[in-house]
Structure 1
Amino acid sequence: MSRHYDQAKGLSEQHDEETHHYVFNQTMMRIKDPARTLKFYSEVLGMTLVKRLDFPEMEFSLYFMAAISPEQRKQWSTDHNQRIKQTFSRPAMLELTHNWGDEKDDSVEFHSGNSEPKGFGHIGFAVPDIDAACERFDKMNVEFQKRPQDGNMKGIAFIKDPDGYWIEIFAADKMPDLLSKHL
């Protein structure tokens, strides 16, 4: 029996025991202005800053953002070192990296990966109701790359964060029907 749920060329059936407790922890994105970007991720997407690390000698800061519920928030330690351990063992976080001074430098821009040369594409958020979420984003003046009714893939949206990174917005319960139209 395969260890994978689907098949694709290049997959290995080998599953080294040493990897059984590896955790996918973070995706790092560079940001220009922490104030505007942290406001976006905390206000628009409801994320929580679980740890901020400043590196004065190298002039940069890291902001670890996680999508956690108020109930989950109670599980986080107020102890600095314990929270560092929690931060680096939790799955699926954003590490937002700010190089000090970038917010004052008009020449600093980041590549979203969606124009040439293509690379990184987007992060994604599941929402309970895509129409309600998009209505909320409209009220908050969030920039859309694609609305649910646009394009070939109806029912998903893409919004942009302040640095131009794309964020896919979808309702998980709608994905089977949506994808079946294209598979």
Structure 2
Amino acid sequence: MSDNPTAGFRFNHTMLRVKDPQKALDFYQRVFGMELVKTLDFPEFEFTLYFLAQLGEDEPQPPKDAGEATRWMFSQRGILELTYNYGTENDADFHYHDGNEEPQGFGHICFSVPDLDAAVRWFDQNNVEFVKRPDEGGLKDIAFVKDLDGYWIEILEPARLTGLGN
């Protein structure tokens, strides 16, 4: 047994509340290539959780058994949880605080991409809203886009950032 009390700790997921789950799922699946790996519905509390991941062909896939799939999902890294509270999609004035308006709090999630220029073209083709393009602002080669609920998503190509912070 390890003397390290945090041995085995793993960052599992980040949760974002979404107004319309079908639109949010489409956005993250179509635009970012994520897969829905688990849905947990809690009608007695009037919310549903959707868990998405990016699963490559060479990565472990979720088991078919529902209980084992839940265990598997809570054992992974880099899961995105979308939380839907019933009825929000029917309220035209409803929106979540994105964390970047005052008062600031939560900032963004981040996706790394193999080719930033190709990703920018893909986002443009899919009418994704940009907060900042890679050639704008003081930090070059980093982009920020928004999802449909206004949350910021940082987009970076690791190979372009070797001199960052120097």
- Give the TM bin, normalised by the shorter chain: over 0.9
4+ residue runs over 6 A deviation: none
Counterpart in the other structure of 2:99: 113
**Aligned match of 1:58:** 45
**43, 58, 67: which is aligned to 1:71?**
58
1:1-183 maps to which residues of 2 (within 5 A)? 17-72=4-59, 75-177=61-163, 179-180=164-165, 183=166
**2 CA distance for matches of 1:62 and 1:117?**
26
Q: For the residues of structure 2 that align with 1:16 and 1:56, how far apart are their CA atoms?
A: 42
Give the Å deviation of 1:119: 0.5
Quote the Cα distance in structure 1 between the aligned partners of 2:21 and 2:100: 22
Partner secondary structure for residue 71 of structure 1: coil
CA RMSD of aligned residues (A): 1.4
Q: CA deviation at 1:70?
A: 3.0
Counterpart of 1:145 in 2: which secondary structure?
A: strand
TM-score (ref. length: structure 2): 0.95
Give TM-score, length-normalised by structure 1. 0.86
Q: Cα deviation per residue 1:133-154 (whole Å; 9 max; x = unaligned)?
A: 0001100111111111111111
Structure 1 gaps of 5+ residues are 1-14
The CA deviation at 1:18 is: 2.7
- The alpha carbon displacement at 1:16 in A equals 6.2
- Bigger Cα Rg: 1
Q: Distance in 2 between matches of 1:71 and 1:176?
A: 27
Aligned to 1:6: none
Residue pair 2:62, 2:73 contacting (<8 A) in 1 also = no
Paired residue type of 1:160? K
Instruction: For 1:81, give the aligned amino acid.
Output: G
User: Amino acid of the residue matched to residue 71 of structure 1?
Assistant: D
Classify the secondary structure of the residue corresponding to 2:58. helix
How many residues are aligned here?
A: 165
Identity of counterpart residues, as a percentage?
Answer: 50
CA distance in 2, matches of 1:96, 1:157: 22
